[in-house]
Amino acid sequence: MTDALTRLKQHPAALWVGFALIAAALAMLPFIVGMQGQTWVRVVNNALLYVMLALGLNIVVGFAGLLDLGYIAFYAVGAYSYALLASPHFGLHLPFWIILPIGFLVACVFGVLLGAPVLKLRGDYLAIVTLGFGEIIRIFINNLNEPINITNGPQGITLIDPIRIGSLSFSGTNELAGLDFTSPVKYYYLLLALVLVIIFINVRLQDSRIGRAWEAIREDEIAAQAMGINLRNMKLLAFAMGASFGGVAGGMFSAIQGFISPESFGIFESIIVLSMVVLGGMGNIPGVILGAVLLSTFPEALRYMAPLQKATFGREIIDPEAARLLIFGLAMILIMLFRPAGLLPSEVRKRELATERAP
């Protein structure tokens, strides 16, 4: 696989053909899966949201090595920023290109807010505090309907505006060149564009001085300082960058769903996103993307167990909802047993496991 890649890199033309093929596949994807119904386009969109989240968390966990178990809080912050500024709840209906940067910034501020008090914490202690932070945000949202109603509490916020760019609304269906651009299809392209931007930023970050500073911090904080790395700023930057990507994903989630409530931002979501990062391959961008796509679509595919059971046994033997989690857990255990560094591990992670076993 790696050999094939190096050979490809020696032929720029082949590389471009490869890119073109991938681009064409991505461009046609919603129409191909759309033939099975719009549900599948929604599943793909959901996967793209998780890719954004996983890439954001990967900056904190994978690059800087700071275990964050409350990451979903930033998703919630982004989602509520969008919902409050574009719904009848406050009567505000700001346009999307104003809300998106606001969501980005608010999440960024919350990232620093979490980062500042935990600068000196490491490992388990950091995990505990971030876990608490995630829960605090959710509980706040759940209870901020009294004395002043800000978040509308557990009822959540409804009738959130769909995204509108100029005269193009993302809610209805448009027809262009004989193709039906349904609402999920339009969101797919917007999400894809955002994901590509985030991937680009991630790749550039990893190869930059900032990326190297994070790498040093992940390995040894004291030595990193002795190299001339500003520990505080670099850690805060990791938290802020990770958080802001989560915030953008949250805003998109709000717009696509049209309804949000605190229930969507529980601890289980944080764990799922972390599983995507770990399972795919911590610190490796393609790995993290793969992890996010697999873990978000796999449970959807398992929904088809019920009709399958009916067809073979004539009745439902195992409750599909329960079995879904069971199989999910089993798959995770198998991956951790056979590919402990993740499906597509980063170079450094591979070495880490090799050196742990070798001496």
Partner 1 sequence: MTLLELAGLEVAYGGIKAVKGIDLAVEKGELVCLIGANGAGKTTTLKAICGMVPTHGGAVRYQDRDITGTPSYRLVERGLAMVPEGRGIFRQLTVAENLAMGAFVRNDREAVRHDLEVIFELFPRLAERRSQPGGTLSGGEQQMLAIGRAMMSRPKLLLLDEPSMGLAPLLVQKIFETVRKISAEGVTILLIEQNARLALEIANRAYVMETGTITLSGPAAELLADPKVREAYLGEMA
Q: Which is nearer to partner 1, 80 or 214 (CB)?
A: 214
Q: Which of 28, 139, 226, 301 binds partner 1 (CB under 8 A)?
A: 226
Is 229 a binder of partner 1 (CB under 8 A)? yes
Tell the smallest beta-carbon distance from residue 220 to partner 1 (Å). Answer: 5
Q: Which is nearer to partner 1, 3 or 356 (CB)?
A: 356
Q: Which of 169, 171, 225, 309 binds partner 1 (CB under 8 A)?
A: 225
Tell the smallest beta-carbon distance from residue 225 to partner 1 (Å). Answer: 5
Q: Which is nearer to partner 1, 227 or 301 (CB)?
A: 227
Which 330-349 residues touch partner 1, going by CB under 8 A?
Answer: 348
Q: Which of 207, 220, 263, 321 binds partner 1 (CB under 8 A)?
A: 220
Phi, psi dihedrals of residue 279, rounded to the nearest 5°: -65, -40
Q: 69 and 86 in contact (C-beta within 8 Å)?
A: no
d(CA 100, CA 95): 9
Q: Which is nearer to partner 1, 147 or 228 (CB)?
A: 228
Q: Which is nearer to partner 1, 96 or 214 (CB)?
A: 214
Tell the smallest beta-carbon distance from residue 348 to partner 1 (Å). Answer: 5
Is 355 a binder of partner 1 (CB under 8 A)? yes
Is 357 a binder of partner 1 (CB under 8 A)? no
Number of residues forming the site for partner 1 (CB under 8 A): 23
Is 351 a binder of partner 1 (CB under 8 A)? yes
d(CA 163, CA 93): 10
Tell the smallest beta-carbon distance from residue 353 to partner 1 (Å). Answer: 10
Tell the smallest beta-carbon distance from residue 261 to partner 1 (Å). Answer: 42
Which 281-300 residues touch partner 1, going by CB under 8 A?
Answer: none
Is 54 a binder of partner 1 (CB under 8 A)? no
d(CA 287, CA 45): 19
Is 7 a binder of partner 1 (CB under 8 A)? no
Q: Which residues of 149-186 are buried (b: 16+ CB within 10 A; e: fewer)?
A: eebbbeebbeebbbbbeeeeebeeeeeeeeeebbbbbb
Q: Which span sits near partner 1 by CB under 8 A: 51-59, 152-160, 229-237, 251-259? A: 229-237
Tell the smallest beta-carbon distance from residue 122 to partner 1 (Å). Answer: 15
Q: Which is nearer to partner 1, 6 or 167 (CB)?
A: 6
Q: Which of 144, 150, 231, 332 binds partner 1 (CB under 8 A)?
A: 231
Is 316 a binder of partner 1 (CB under 8 A)? no
Which 188-217 residues touch partner 1, going by CB under 8 A?
Answer: 209, 212-213, 215-216
Cα distances (angstroms) measured from residue 299 to each of 6, 85, 196, 271, 323: 35, 33, 24, 15, 10
Tell the smallest beta-carbon distance from residue 9 to partner 1 (Å). Answer: 20
Interface residue list for partner 1 (CB under 8 A): 209, 212-213, 215-216, 219-220, 222-223, 225-231, 348, 351-352, 354-355, 358-359
